[in-house]
């Protein structure tokens, strides 16, 4: 099976989510199902059906997290340096808006653009990999072409 590259922080976050699902969410939904069963006829019991649907989602997410974590390859980004590669925190200057943005290049399982965690398979990450501080990068995105300058590269 193919390994899933992941930062230490991303691995830790997924472990915490899995632990929370097993320790809190799973028992809570089991209680909700039990309470809904006490209300009688299950065929017209919206609470029961909602709880079962939630249980299905929780169990699916648990299986997904267990699969991801079993295949995870944690990469110690603090030992890396140089050009942009997996785990790099890259500060960019958007040359159209003069806005600075910082992204960390991470694996698909931990990517979250709102938190600045950029999927390594995204067009921007692929354009950045191998580049150095001061390099300009052109990226074709669904919204059109963007031009960036790499201001800094850090590994933590």
Please report the pLDDT score of residue 36 as a whole number. Answer: 85
pLDDT tens digit sequence for 104-146? 999 999 999 999 999 999 999 999 999 999 999 999 877 789 9
* 100 membership: H or E segment, kind and range: strand 100-106
pLDDT tens digit sequence for 46-64? 888 899 999 999 999 999 9
Share of the chain above pLDDT 90, in %: 78
pLDDT tens digit sequence for 1-35? 789 999 999 999 999 999 999 999 999 999 999 98
Both tokens of 88, joined, read: 């790099």
| Angle at the Cα of 150 from the Cα atoms of 146 and 152, rounded to 5 degrees | 150
On whether the pTM is more than 0.85, the answer is no
Q: Which runs of consecutive H residues, i.e. helices, occur in the chain?
A: 8-20, 26-37, 46-71, 123-128
Domains defined for the chain, CATH in brackets:
4-75 (1.10.287.180), 77-154 (3.10.50.30)
CA atoms within 13 A on the CB side of 78: 3
């Amino acid at each position: 099976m193919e390994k899933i590259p992941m930062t230490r922080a991303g691995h830790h976050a997924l472990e915490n989510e899995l632990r929370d699902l097993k320790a809190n969410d799973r028992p809570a939904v089991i209680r909700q199902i039990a309470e809904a069963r006490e209300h009688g006829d299950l065929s017209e019991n919206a609470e029961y059906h909602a709880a079962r649907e939630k249980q299905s989602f929780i169990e699916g997410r648990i299986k997904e997290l267990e699969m991801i974590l079993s295949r995870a390859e944690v990469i110690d980004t603090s030992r890396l340096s140089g050009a942009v590669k997996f785990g790099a925190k890259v500060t960019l200057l958007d040359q159209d808006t003069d806005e600075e943005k910082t992204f960390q290049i991470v694996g698909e399982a931990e990517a979250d653009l709102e938190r600045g965690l950029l999927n390594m398979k995204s067009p921007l990450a692929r354009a950045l990999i191998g580049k150095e501080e001061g390099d300009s990068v052109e990226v074709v995105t669904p919204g059109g072409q963007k031009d960036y300058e790499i201001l800094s590269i850090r590994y933590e």
